Amino acid sequence: MKTLILHHDDCLRHDPGRRHAEIPARITAVLNGVKELPRTEMLPAPRATIEQLQQAHAPEYWARLVELEPVQDPAEDRVALDPDTFLSAGSIDATLRGSGAACFAIDQVIAGKVRNAFCATRPPGHHAEAALAMGFCLLNHAAVAARHAQHAHAIERIAILDFDVHHGNGTQAIFENTPDVLYISSHQMPLYPGTGSSSETGCGNILNLPLAPGAGSVEFRNAWSTQGLPGLESFKPELVIISAGFDAHANDPLAQLELTDEDYGWITAEICNYANAECGGRVVSILEGGYDLEALTTASAAHVSALTD
């Protein structure tokens, strides 16, 4: 079976501004890295339904985002939700494709139609809380996907693994009182958004692996080998969702970790080894951060190559 890659050109329409780090060219860079890899299949990402969104987000929150979306030229008309997070014309369709891709990927993986899946969509999602947009994120695609797996497929135990350089505060906040969802995050600390201490454990389902600025392959692999992967194995999930951020790369301008393409291939292979042995290979990966375009191309290629292997 093949690795499914999901994308839609609507994801290019979200425009937070030319000086913003989260630009449409990010998707072009990712697709350049993965589009010709063997053992992959690319399909258009569908839009999420309102019912799917409301499993993770407050209805009034989504209604407010829709109300605020500008209708003019996105280059001329934007709404600032906070100093980093914007709505332009096209933002709603873009973020709907992100959550829709994640839910469709869940459907395909659980049905056994594909080996696993990677959602090449934007804007990212792991900072979005149930009723709060922040950190470039409007909808929390990983959370929507996890809730969809629970409600549509009766999956009881889900692990969300996050190696973005920033802590996924939104994912943690949505699930910190949900014992059947495990959240494990490696991230730089201190760094935005200021959460992610190892003392934050939720109801026993949160495992944070903070890394100091300047940490690289040795520290990253040690954290996952001694804590993250054993935590995954102990939890015994039926499905693994990856929040795949590539901004811990040494070339990324927004942080100070020193990961390499090989590190992304390594952690992906380790996750897939677990999934193949214990939960039928069920892995759905969702693009989060990553703001150096060349690093995005090579790191996403390493990630998807490991999914296909």
130-173 pLDDT, tens digit per residue, is 999 999 999 999 999 999 999 999 999 999 999 999 999 999 99
56-65 pLDDT, tens digit per residue, is 999 999 999 9
Can you give the CATH number for the domain in which 26 is found?
Answer: 3.40.800.20
What are 181's strand-pairing partners?
Answer: 158
Question: Looking at residue 73, what is its pLDDT?
Answer: 59
Q: The domain containing residue 216 runs over which residues? A: 7-308
Let me know if residue 220 belongs to a domain. yes
188 Cα distance to chain centroid: 16
Question: Looking at residue 59, what is its pLDDT?
Answer: 97
Going by pLDDT thresholds of 50, 70 and 90, the confidence category of residue 2 is very high
Catalytic residues: 127
119-142 pLDDT, tens digit per residue, is 999 999 999 999 999 999 999 999
Question: Looking at residue 284, what is its pLDDT?
Answer: 99
Residue 74, pLDDT above cutoff 90: no
6-45 pLDDT, tens digit per residue, is 999 999 999 999 899 999 999 999 999 999 999 999 999 9
Let me know if residue 113 belongs to a domain. yes
Let me know if residue 84 belongs to a domain. yes
252-292 pLDDT, tens digit per residue, is 999 999 999 999 999 999 999 999 999 999 999 999 999 99
Question: Looking at residue 76, what is its pLDDT?
Answer: 62
Let me know if residue 106 belongs to a domain. yes
Q: Which two tokens stand for residue 229?
A: 């992967």
Site of tokens 């292997």: 309
Site of tokens 């992906």: 268
Let me know if residue 176 belongs to a domain. yes
Question: Looking at residue 245, what is its pLDDT?
Answer: 98
177-224 pLDDT, tens digit per residue, is 999 999 999 999 999 999 999 999 999 999 999 999 999 999 999 999
Q: What is the pTM of this model?
A: 0.97
Let me know if residue 1 belongs to a domain. no
The count of other CB atoms within 10 Å of the CB of residue 127 is: 29
Residue 242, pLDDT above cutoff 70: yes
Let me know if residue 2 belongs to a domain. no
- The total of structural domains in the chain comes to 1
Let me know if residue 67 belongs to a domain. yes
